Structure 1
Amino acid sequence: MFPFSAIAVDRNMANVLKAGIFYCLGVFMLGFVLGALRMLFLVPYAGPVVAVLIEVPVMLVFAWFFCRMLTRRFAIPPEPYERLVMGLVAFACLMAGEMLIALFLQQRSLTDFLMAFDLPENRIGLGGQIAFALFPVIQCYTERRTER
C-alpha cells in the first residue's frame, strides 16, 4: 500500500506545480498587456506611481479569481503546504519572467533590474506580486472557514 500512497502524493504535487505555473502564466500575460497600456496611456498623464496604483488592484482582482479557478480545476486541497508551494512556484516563475524581459527585451543588466526595486512604483508592484503569491494560502483558509 505504501507505493500507491507515494504515487498519489506525486500526482498531487504535480497538480500543485501545474497550477502554480498556469497561475503565473495567466497573471503574467494580463500583466504584460496592462503594463504596456499603463506605460502608453497612464504614465504620461498620471505619473508612474499613480499608474501602478491603478493597475495593481485590477491585477489582484483577476489573480484572486484566477487562483480560485485553478485550485478547483487542479483539485488542490485546502491545505497550507500545497497552497504555499503553488504560490511560491507562481511567484518564482513570475519574477524569472520579469527578469528575462528586463535582460533581453529591455537590454538592462541584472543590477539595473534589482536596483529598479528602489523606485516607489516598483515597490508597489512587488507588494502586489507578494499578495498574488499568498492568494492560494489565503484562499485555503477562507475555503476551510466556509466548509465548517
Structure 2
Amino acid sequence: MNPSVDSTPGRTERPEGFVQIFKAGAIYFILVFGAGFVLGSIRVLWIVPRFGDRIAELMEMPIMFVATIFAARWVVERFAFPPMPGIRLGVGFVALGFLLVAEFTIVLPLRGLTIDEYFASRDPVAGAVYLVMLGVFAVMPFLVVHRWDR
C-alpha cells in the first residue's frame, strides 16, 4: 500500500495528505495497543502477584519499548513515508491520541476506575516511566528508519 507519488521532477515520494498519516497512526496504535493488551494481561495475572505492581510495570516497559520500535518501523516502511518530521511526528501523535482515548474510555471503565482514581493509584516511579514511554511512542515513527538521502 504505497501512497500516491508526486511525479514532479525533483520531488520525492510523499503521502497523500492527512488520510495516509491518519491511517498509519491508527495502524501504529493498533499494533502497540495490541502488544500492550497482551503484555498487560500477562503482567496482571502472573507478574504482579509475584513481584508487585511497580516491578511488574517496570519489567513490562523494555518489552513495550521494543514493540514500539518494531511497530513504528513497520508502519513507516509500509507507508513509505519520507524522513520528514511533520509527517512522521503526525503519525505518532495521531497514534498517541488514539491511545489516550482508548486508555480513558475503554481501559479505565474495564478496570472500574475514574480518571481521578487512576492518577491517584499510579506508582510514582512506574507512572513517570509510563509518561516517558508515551512521549517515546509519539516520536518513534520519526526516530526509526531515519535515513536521509546521502
Question: Does the CA contact (< 8 Å) of 1:16 and 1:76 recur in 2?
Answer: no
- The partner residue of 1:63 within 68, 86, 91 is 68
- Aligned-residue offset at 1:120: 2.4
* Kept after mapping to 1: 8 A contact 2:96/2:134: yes
Q: Which residue in 2 is equivalent to 1:133?
A: 138
Percent identical among aligned pairs is 33
TM (norm. structure 2) is 0.81
Cα distance in structure 2, aligned partners of 1:116 and 1:19? 33
User: Going by fraction, where is helix more abundant, 1 or 2?
Assistant: 1
Query: Quick check: 1:143 aligned with 2:138?
Result: no
Q: Deviations over 1:77-131 (max 9, x none)?
A: 2100011111111111111111123442122212223434563222222222221
Q: CA deviation at 1:31?
A: 0.3
Q: Is the 8 A contact 1:102 1:109 kept in 2?
A: no
Q: Does 1:48 align with 2:74?
A: no
- 1:12 — aligned with what? 17
Give the alignment's TM-score, normalised by structure 1.
0.82
CA distance in 1, matches of 2:18, 2:129: 31
Paired with 2:58 and 2:43, the residues of 1 have a C-alpha distance of 10
Q: 1:137 to 1:10 in 2, by over 3 A?
A: closer
Partner of 1:21: 26
Structure 1 segment 98-117 matched on structure 2, within 5 A: 98-117=103-122
| Correspondence for 2:3 | none
Stretches of structure 2 lacking an aligned partner (at least 5 in a row): 1-7
Q: Give every structure 1 segment of 4 or more consecutive aligned residues whose post-TM-superposition deviation is greater than 3 Å.
A: 114-119
Kindly provide the CA deviation profile for residues 32-91 of structure 1, in whole angstroms up to 9, marking residues without a partner as x.
110011011111111222212211111111111111111111122210001111111111
* Cα distance in structure 2, aligned partners of 1:70 and 1:24: 10
Q: Which amino acid aligns with 2:147?
A: E
Residues of 2 paired with 1:108 and 1:95: CA distance? 15
Question: 2: CA distance between counterparts of 1:107 and 1:98?
Answer: 12
Q: 1:86 aligns with which of 91, 100, 104?
A: 91
